[in-house]
Amino acid sequence: MAIDALSSKKAGALAVIAVSGVSLMCIPAVARPAGTADHRPAPASAGGGGGGAAPGAPKLPGGLSALSWTVADADSGSVLASKDAHRKLAPASTLKTLFAVTVLPKFSAGTVRQVSAADLDGIGAGSSVVGVRKGERYKVGDLWRGVFLRSGNDAVHVLASMNGGWKVTAREMQETARKLGARDTTVKSPDGYDAPGQVSSAFDLTVFARAGLANADFARYCSTVRADFPSAGGTTRIENTNRLLAGSQGMARYPGIIGVKNGYTTNAGNTLIAAARRDGRTLLVTVMNPQSGEANGVYKEARSLLDWGFRSAGKAQPVGTLRTTGVTHGAGGPPAQTVAHSAEADDEARDGSTWRSAVALWAGGVGALVLAAGALLAWRMHARRDSSGGGPS
């Protein structure tokens, strides 16, 4: 009997240990959040303190004087090389890419607007204009050509009025930037005109261009070299001010060029987002405020970076990644898939993962205690039966 009781005690203790061990083994470990490294730029593209390309890639071009620049693969979102990509600088008219990403899907190209005096209020002194006139009627498609080809702030003002006004549009642009994971951008003037506190970065502008190129209307407008714009008594021929696209002002047209947008203000200097496609690969290069003082400097530096990017195919490992994959569509088009995977989304996923892990730990611990208590109770009942002679012999 004593031997049986001792055996029962040992069995009960072993049962408790075994059950507890199995329960603890089933508790999920708190893991490092998946995707964190994939969605946050590497130090070379994090701004503030240089940058560069990955080991094994071709040597970066010499003579780069821009305060900030990036080279990225538009399809994968990989940043191939950069310098101070998150440095906050005045964007000039390259900010019109964010304006287009925000507003372009809302109105079909054939929508007609009769321009009022209020539509043209507040255009900054010295602004680039396409020649929009009060009282005249314009199709939305013409206004967008005025935005992309001539960087017309007058056309931006009319479209912003259609969108609910200047302040509403600035606020919506800010919201769009946030959704796309572009955290360096502060919007004050939707046309990119210099305004206190208005900044963006080479990284953010690349994000906007990538999101825009996913929209067929954006891609078409930003790649248009020449178009007719309505004017008194007929039309006026306008040409794109992006010299890499138009092949003008001493610059040859870049092979495979797509667009996207150039800009200039006194505060921003020259800025440019350029996209080009060769051999099934699309690259985006953003250059902000070259310091060389050389004529066409922003175009020459962008061209040399595009050349480097195409030479680096299959050689340059990403030094960072764009934080978004945005897909939009033109007004009246089919429903579109829209994804905004940002660092903020990663934070939310990490919080959710941590919360679920904590719940799993708690549930696992409670389960172990319940099972152990059950095993102990069974052992005691077995011991009582042994002492009363009712158990097996």
Question: DSSP label at 254?
Answer: P
Q: With beta carbons less than 8 A apart as the criterion, state whether 319 and 42 touch.
A: yes
Closest C-alpha among 3, 5, 1 to residue 381: 5
E strands present in 103-189 = 112-114, 137-139
Q: Six-digit token pair at 257?
A: 């060029």
Q: Is the dihedral of CA 379, 381, 382, 388 positive or negative?
A: positive
68 is catalytic: no
For 15, 142, 213, 230, 327, the CA distances from 336, given in Å and listed in that order, are: 57, 24, 14, 32, 7
96 is catalytic: yes
Write down the catalytic residue from 82, 93, 128, 312: 93
List phi, psi (to 5°) of 33.
-55, 130
The CA-CA-CA angle for residues 238, 242, 248, to 5°, reads 75
Would you give the distance in Å from CA 320 to the centre of its chain?
12
Write down the catalytic residue from 83, 96, 261, 300: 96
Alpha helices in the chain (DSSP H): 2-25, 96-103, 140-150, 153-162, 166-179, 202-213, 216-222, 243-246, 297-311, 343-387
Q: With beta carbons less than 8 A apart as the criterion, state whether 141 and 109 touch.
A: yes
93 is catalytic: yes
Write down the catalytic residue from 82, 151, 161, 312: 151
Question: DSSP label at 389?
Answer: T
Catalytic residues: 93, 96, 151
